[in-house]
Structure 1
Amino acid sequence: MSDQVFPGPALRPLQLQLGAQTLAGYESAGTGRPILLVHGNSSSSRIWQKQLQGPLGAKYRVIAIDLPGHGASSPAPHPETDYSGHGYAAAIAAAARALDLASAIVVGWSLGGHAVLNAAASLPMAAG
């Protein structure tokens, strides 16, 4: 997949190796307060392209990740536990730590919203 999905500023593709799990996503060109975006069920980070490449992404460090088994992320290494609220929450918390998202605003849509709520206790540095 090209890092130029829509016209606008180029995106930096992400690939995080978190133990046996590889999470993919995109990061905007902005440098302001970090914003982590988490997609819904059967979706991917691509739903956030307008936010990543628009005025929000130009001003803030906007990051959209693909949950395990979604988009360009690898399938979950332990499907019975990783494809759950707690499993997705663990992936979000691990990504936030790997990306050093201190004081991040974390936004989730649908399944991503539930996962972010489950991750809240593991994200003491984040603002929900």
Structure 2
Amino acid sequence: MKKLFKDIDGLQIECLISTGNSNPIFIFHGNSSCAAAYESLLSSQLGKQYQIIAVSFPGHGASSYYQNNPDYVSIAMLGQLTAKIIQSFNPSSYLLIGQSLGGHALLESLHLHPKATGLCLVSAPPFSLTTIGSVFREDPTGGLLFANQLDQNAVERFARAFVHHDRSENLNLLKTHIQTTQGQFREQLGKSLALGLLEDELENLISANIPCLLLQGEEDKFIHNDYYQYLVQTNAPLELSHFANTGHAIQLDAPQQFEQILSEFIHQHLRTSVSQTLSHAQELQHA
């Protein structure tokens, strides 16, 4: 695994890249997390087989924050940034994985990802201003998701809200990532939502008509399970995968099952891209 930084719109964006050789698979994390949340995945056998690139949003991990300190940071702004980051790698095609906020950022920018061959959403069911009340449970953090300053008790409560199993190693990892996130980001993200700056993500998914796998943690403290059942009855091109005994951070509560489901998803939707790349390489050799 290696780390590099991309200069995107004056921001230094942290990217962690696995050693695998394939068309890339980009992962975007949730609120107050970072690329390092996926280090174990990048170092796994899956990461050795495929090129997986985990990205840290501004103010998360080792990525810098906006110097102009904007009045708000919207999900759409983050979505536009995902497209610019991916374009900087100049891939011929790629897969997208978004966890929580990262998934919503991808949903709000799908029109900017014409070369994406598949989308995996982790605890990120598409919603809009009209459906938001049906999606979310009462906030288990009590508003900490959008708080600038967090004391130790707040960080502890924040971290525990994301997992179903309170394993110390997972909680410590979450707390580290929460503590290293720029507080302005949470506050300015909250301002954008208060302004109603939210697109119809389900309509975006239907319009993009991209194969989508939606992962549901059945003990998620943030999202109503009934909403997932509503989504599968729409005409969106999505498949639902249930994870029993897992919370919002599925990759921490069920890492082996998470890796297995991702492996199947990647094999199904990256296979054509890999074969095209090999075919092109062979053409060059015989030219």
Q: Deviations over 1:38-80 (max 9, x none)?
A: 0000000011112111011101110000011111111024533
Residue 61 in structure 1 maps to residue 85 in structure 2:
no
Q: How has the CA–CA distance of structure 1 residues 80 and 101 changed in structure 2, closer, same or farther, with 3 Å as cutoff? A: farther
Alignment partner, residue 80 of structure 1: 71
Q: 1:34 aligns to what? A: 24
- Equivalenced residue count is 117
Supply the RMSD in Å over aligned alpha carbons.
1.3
Q: Which has the larger radius of gyration?
A: 2
Q: TM-score, normalised by structure 2?
A: 0.39
Which structure 1 segments of 5+ residues have no match?
A: 1-10
Q: Which amino acid in 1 is paired with 2:108?
A: N
The structure where helix makes up a greater share of residues is 2
Length-normalised TM-score, structure 1: 0.85
**Which of these residues, 103, 110, 114, is aligned with residue 113 of structure 1?**
103
Q: Which contiguous aligned blocks of 4+ residues in structure 1 show a shift greater than 4 angstroms? A: none
**How much does 1:87 deviate?**
1.1
Structure 1 residue 91 displacement after superposition? 1.1
Matches of 1:123 and 1:52 in 2, distance apart?
A: 23
Counterpart secondary structure, 1:32: coil
Query: Which residue type is aligned with residue 5 of structure 2?
Result: Q
Whole-Å Cα distance in 2 between the matches of residues 19 and 49 of structure 1?
A: 26
Could you tell me which runs of 5 or more consecutive residues in structure 2 were left unpaired when the two chains were aligned. Answer: 120-287
The residue identity in structure 2 corresponding to 1:27 is I
Which gives a bigger RCO, structure 1 or 2 (Cα 8 Å, sep 6+)? 1
Q: How far did residue 21 of structure 1 move?
A: 1.4
Question: What is aligned with 1:19?
Answer: 9
CA–CA distance in 2 between the matches of 1:49 and 1:102?
Answer: 25
Compare the two structures and name the one with the higher strand fraction. Answer: 1
- Counterpart CA distance in 2 for 1:95 and 1:69 is 15
